[in-house]
Structure 1
Amino acid sequence: MRATLMYGAGDVRIENVPDSVIKQPTDALVRITGSCVCGSDLHPYASMKPEDGPARMGHEFLGIVEATGPEVTTVKKGDLVVAPFAISDNTCEFCREGLHTSCIHPQANFWDGEPDEGGQAEAIRVPLADGTLVKLPVAPDSALIPSLLTLSDVFGTGYHAALMGGVNERTRVTVIGDGAVGLLAVLSAKRLGAEQIILMGRHQTRTDLGREFGATDVVSTRGEEGIDAVRALTGGHGTHVVLEAVGHMPAYEQALGVVRAGGVISRVGVPQYEDAPVGFGSLFGRNIRLAGGPAPVRAYIEELMPDILDGTIEPGKVFDATTDLDGIPAGYQDMADRKSLKVLVKP
């Protein structure tokens, strides 16, 4: 079968690899019918050292179950399923608390950490299939497929940011980042009733989609100028909640500048730094809380899916380009160059 491998920064290849096969009685084999390139994939695309490759890529996918191990009971051959970006048993004490990214089962893992498996491929072995996979009540050719695919990561991640920030109908919100996660954080903040949603982004086609998703204001400047603009929109105080969907230090510094005293910074952009300030001059002195983390999207799928199925929301609008497996390397480059927001892959 064919799969995507990253050999180093800027070096993504589609190669023939051994077929995925069932290895454990709790496994399922899934033929992938839809996947995508994630904004977090761009971090290694920019910085991976050749000695760290090759790495199988892709952690967002849906597809059709081709076979199951003898202990799998919740899905069967022929089912259309979506997989969260974290493998979990959905039964341990952390999963029961809705924190599937901290599942204690020995096979629990993130897809990009799973040896010899990745979602940007023709097929995949899914460990802990009963806990990980969620059956989709639509046909494989449904027009809802792009939106349902966002349940594997970006929609759930945007929702996690808003939820951990405590967004409600009384909060003003700033979203930093106009990538897919940032835009779906806007959609999530709107869904939770935020009275004001300020989107900080510089690409008009993206911020236009952000307005469609619920942003009340757009600030296209960065740094001190951007901070001043947000404060001008909020009576000088900043917003109760800041959803940081980038992961770089300038975004964190911007979050510190626009958050209201007593507010929350909720980070879901994978941090590319280790030395974020939290002392008296940053978080402590203004009673600011820091929240967020890897989104346990498995906990949110059943909650978010009905609004997709009935057409209330369409998170799949974040996909602005479609390709097949052969087009994935170009898709990475287009996303890195900001020519594409998010690339949908149909093998």
Structure 2
Amino acid sequence: MRATVLHTSYDVRLEDVPDPKLDGPGDAIVKVVASCICGSDLWPYRGEPPVKAPRRIGHEFVGIVQEIGSEVRTVKPGDFVIAPFVVSDGTCPHCLAGFQTACVNRVGYGTDRADGGQGEYVKLPYADGTLVATPEVPDDSLVPSLLTLSDVMGTGWHAARSARVKPGDTVVVVGDGAVGLCGVLAAARMGAERVVSMSRHEPRQKLAKEFGATDIISERGDAGRDAVLELTDGVGADAVLECVGTGQSMTTAFDVARAGATVGFVGVPHGVEVPIGTMFGRNVGLAGGASPCRAYLPALMADVLAGEIDPGKVFDSVLPLADVAEGYRAMHERRAIKVMLRP
């Protein structure tokens, strides 16, 4: 089979690798129908942290179950399944509490136990705790939106939920990548009256408005803070979604939060310092982290299948798996919001 391998910084290749085989009774092998490149894949692609040895990459995919181990009960061969970005057993205390990304037996994709998601097939353990099957094989037009449920839509939803968005709120979304755009969609879906997208890129601004943004702010840093405060009569936002993970984005998130607000953060932190003095003095909370997409998947899947949400619009580029290296370049150079890969 063919699969994506990251060799070193900016060096992604599609290579022949051994076909997957079941290793345990809880395993499944999935034939990938569609996968995609995540913003978090760009960190190792750029050498943060440095790649020490070639490794499989990718953690977002949907596909058809090919084989299952003897103890798998919730999916069967022929099922169309969505795979959350973390493999979880579904039975540990953290999974049962709805935080599958903290599973005590968590397995990452691209390891010796679970294949990377950007390939033709994926073998993974804990199929019952991880994979979610659709009621029937969906129409191909639904594949993009179902694919977002493996990560970005669930992560945007987690940002909004962590920020405690409620009907009537003014919400600011920091970040206009796929997660930030899905955060806009989530905040609007939760009933926010005003959703402000901080975006400097016209195609992303347009999609943010389609997803429910009422206002766009293109400034960054102090100018972005001042623009939000002007928009909110000097008060700030009731809830802030931090969807980037840099020091500047976290600073902006706290700068635009009103007293008593909560910042919901889902950006993978790089060089972030939490302003504990601001949190104490203004009673601004911080909540979030790695999204437990598996917990949100059934409800969000129902919304997609019912036509209530269409997060698949974040895919503005669809490439064959053979062109995966170009997909990485396009996202690194911000020529694409999010790239979908089809075998």
Which residue, out of 248, 251, 274, partners 1:277? Answer: 274
Deviation per CA, 1:72-120: give whole Å up to 9, x if none.
1111111111110011122222111111111123xx2232556561000
Instruction: Please list every run of 5 or more consecutive structure 2 residues that lacks an aligned counterpart in the other structure.
Output: none
Cα gap change, 1:219 to 1:173, in 2 (>3 Å) = same
Do residues 84 (structure 1) and 84 (structure 2) align? Answer: yes
* Aligned counterparts of 2:171 and 2:274: Cα–Cα separation in 1: 21
Deviation, 1:25, is 0.7
Q: Is the 8 A contact 2:114 2:125 kept in 1?
A: no
* Aligned counterparts of 2:276 and 2:77: Cα–Cα separation in 1: 54
Cα gap change, 1:170 to 1:41, in 2 (>3 Å) = same
- The one-letter code of the counterpart of 1:96 is L
Deviation per CA, 1:223-258: give whole Å up to 9, x if none.
111100011111101101110111111111111211
SS for the counterpart of 2:276 is coil
Q: Is the 8 A contact 2:243 2:266 kept in 1?
A: yes
TM-score of the superposition, structure 2-length normalised? 0.97
* Aligned counterparts of 1:47 and 1:73: Cα–Cα separation in 2: 40
Q: Is the 8 A contact 1:60 1:85 kept in 2?
A: yes
Deviation per CA, 1:190-224: give whole Å up to 9, x if none.
11101111000111111110011000100001011
SS for the counterpart of 1:66 is strand
Instruction: Tell me which residue corresponds to 2:157.
Output: 159
Instruction: Tell me which residue corresponds to 1:320.
Output: 316
Q: Alignment RMSD, CA only?
A: 1.4
* Aligned counterparts of 2:211 and 2:112: Cα–Cα separation in 1: 34
Q: Is the 8 A contact 2:253 2:263 kept in 1?
A: yes
Which residue, out of 291, 294, 297, partners 1:295? Answer: 291
Q: Is the 8 A contact 2:60 2:85 kept in 1?
A: yes
Do residues 341 (structure 1) and 316 (structure 2) align? Answer: no
Q: Is the 8 A contact 1:161 1:266 kept in 2?
A: yes
- The one-letter code of the counterpart of 1:225 is A
Cα gap change, 1:49 to 1:232, in 2 (>3 Å) = closer
SS for the counterpart of 1:211 is helix
- The one-letter code of the counterpart of 1:201 is S
* Aligned counterparts of 2:223 and 2:237: Cα–Cα separation in 1: 16
* Aligned counterparts of 2:152 and 2:34: Cα–Cα separation in 1: 14
* Aligned counterparts of 2:112 and 2:270: Cα–Cα separation in 1: 21
* Aligned counterparts of 2:261 and 2:285: Cα–Cα separation in 1: 6
TM-score of the superposition, structure 1-length normalised? 0.96
Runs of 4+ in 1 over 6 A off after TM superposition: none
SS for the counterpart of 2:123 is strand
* Aligned counterparts of 2:325 and 2:180: Cα–Cα separation in 1: 24
Cα gap change, 1:254 to 1:112, in 2 (>3 Å) = farther
SS for the counterpart of 1:47 is coil
* Aligned counterparts of 1:172 and 1:82: Cα–Cα separation in 2: 32
Instruction: Tell me which residue corresponds to 2:236.
Output: 238
Q: What is the percent sequence identity of the aligned residues?
A: 49
Q: Is the 8 A contact 2:75 2:128 kept in 1?
A: yes
Q: Is the 8 A contact 1:29 1:68 kept in 2?
A: yes
Instruction: Tell me which residue corresponds to 2:42.
Output: 42
Instruction: Please list every run of 5 or more consecutive structure 1 residues that lacks an aligned counterpart in the other structure.
Output: none
Superposition pairs for residues 244-259 of structure 1, below 5 Å?
A: 244-259=242-257
Cα gap change, 1:309 to 1:231, in 2 (>3 Å) = same
Q: Is the 8 A contact 2:3 2:15 kept in 1?
A: yes
Cα gap change, 1:238 to 1:62, in 2 (>3 Å) = same
* Aligned counterparts of 2:131 and 2:108: Cα–Cα separation in 1: 14
* Aligned counterparts of 2:94 and 2:114: Cα–Cα separation in 1: 26
Q: Is the 8 A contact 2:43 2:49 kept in 1?
A: no
Q: Is the 8 A contact 1:8 1:49 kept in 2?
A: no
Cα gap change, 1:113 to 1:188, in 2 (>3 Å) = farther
* Aligned counterparts of 2:167 and 2:8: Cα–Cα separation in 1: 45
* Aligned counterparts of 2:283 and 2:85: Cα–Cα separation in 1: 33
Superposition pairs for residues 1-347 of structure 1, below 5 Å?
A: 1-48=1-48, 52-105=52-105, 108-112=106-110, 117-139=115-137, 141-273=139-271, 275-280=272-277, 282-347=278-343
SS for the counterpart of 1:303 is helix
Q: Is the 8 A contact 2:35 2:62 kept in 1?
A: yes
Q: How many residues align?
A: 343
Cα gap change, 1:62 to 1:218, in 2 (>3 Å) = same
